[in-house]
């Protein structure tokens, strides 16, 4: 089954924007188009001021979803919870409706392969763009309790770490015996202080 011409035209426009931002065509861009389209339809809005999206991967798919939804990490309307999955949860902040959308195992039937990494032919990409989203992605209504400190807008609170004296935003500090600590000072940071070789 194929989709109607208007929807295909819109998908191609969205894909072109995603490719321009991301830098190249890849399977993640096409799947991101399907996920974004499905999520936005489910929450019933395209108003960027009413959307928060949690993406579950820091790869190509995230760029496509960001461009199509208009959400941004710096605006706090896109959140990364890196599960390494081709999935995202879309939230309408006005209604509270939330839906998780993910690439389902059904895609293997369409592609005729067990490994989507082997699926790199542009003709196959075009074919995937023409497939109805429900044949590629699955969707489930969910509940997401977003703490007020995680909402878009101005910071609700800022404090300084008593150890490194760096500013900590939005309740991310860890209580310490002598006062608030940043996560890096409270635990092991992802970096090591020192000079590069």
What's the CATH code of the domain at 43? 3.30.1330.130
What number of residues does the chain have? 197
- The end-to-end CA distance of the chain, in Å, is 57
Domain CATH number, residue 162: 3.30.60
Rounded to whole angstroms, how far apart are CA atoms 30 and 27?
5
User: Does any domain span residue 195?
Assistant: no
How many domains would you assign to the chain?
Answer: 2
Whether residue 49 has pLDDT greater than 90: yes
Per the structure, the complete domain to which residue 61 belongs is given by 5-146
Residue 114: pLDDT band with limits 50, 70, 90: very low
pTM higher than the cut 0.85: yes
User: Does any domain span residue 191?
Assistant: no
User: Does any domain span residue 21?
Assistant: yes
Question: Is residue 22 located within the same domain as residue 115?
Answer: yes
Rounded to whole angstroms, how far apart are CA atoms 65 and 53?
9
């Amino acid at each position: 089954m194929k989709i109607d011409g208007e929807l295909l035209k819109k998908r191609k426009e969205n894909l072109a924007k995603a490719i321009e931002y991301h830098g190249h065509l890849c399977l993640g861009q096409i799947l991101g188009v399907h996920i974004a389209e499905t999520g936005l339809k489910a929450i019933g809005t395209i108003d960027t001021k009413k959307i928060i999206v949690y993406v579950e991967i820091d790869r190509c798919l995230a760029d496509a979803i960001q461009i199509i939804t208009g959400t941004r990490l710096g605006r706090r309307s896109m959140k990364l919870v890196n599960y390494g999955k081709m999935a995202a949860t879309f939230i309408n902040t006005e209604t509270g409706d939330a839906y998780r959308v993910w690439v389902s195992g059904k895609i293997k039937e369409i592609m005729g392969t067990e490994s989507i990494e082997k699926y790199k032919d542009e003709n196959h990409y075009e074919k995937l763009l023409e497939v109805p989203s429900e044949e590629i992605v699955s969707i489930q209504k969910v509940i997401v309790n977003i703490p007020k400190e995680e909402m878009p807008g101005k910071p609700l609170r800022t404090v300084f770490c008593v150890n490194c004296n760096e500013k900590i935003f939005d309740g991310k500090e860890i209580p310490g015996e002598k006062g608030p600590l940043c996560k890096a000072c409270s635990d092991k940071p992802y970096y090591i202080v020192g000079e590069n070789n």
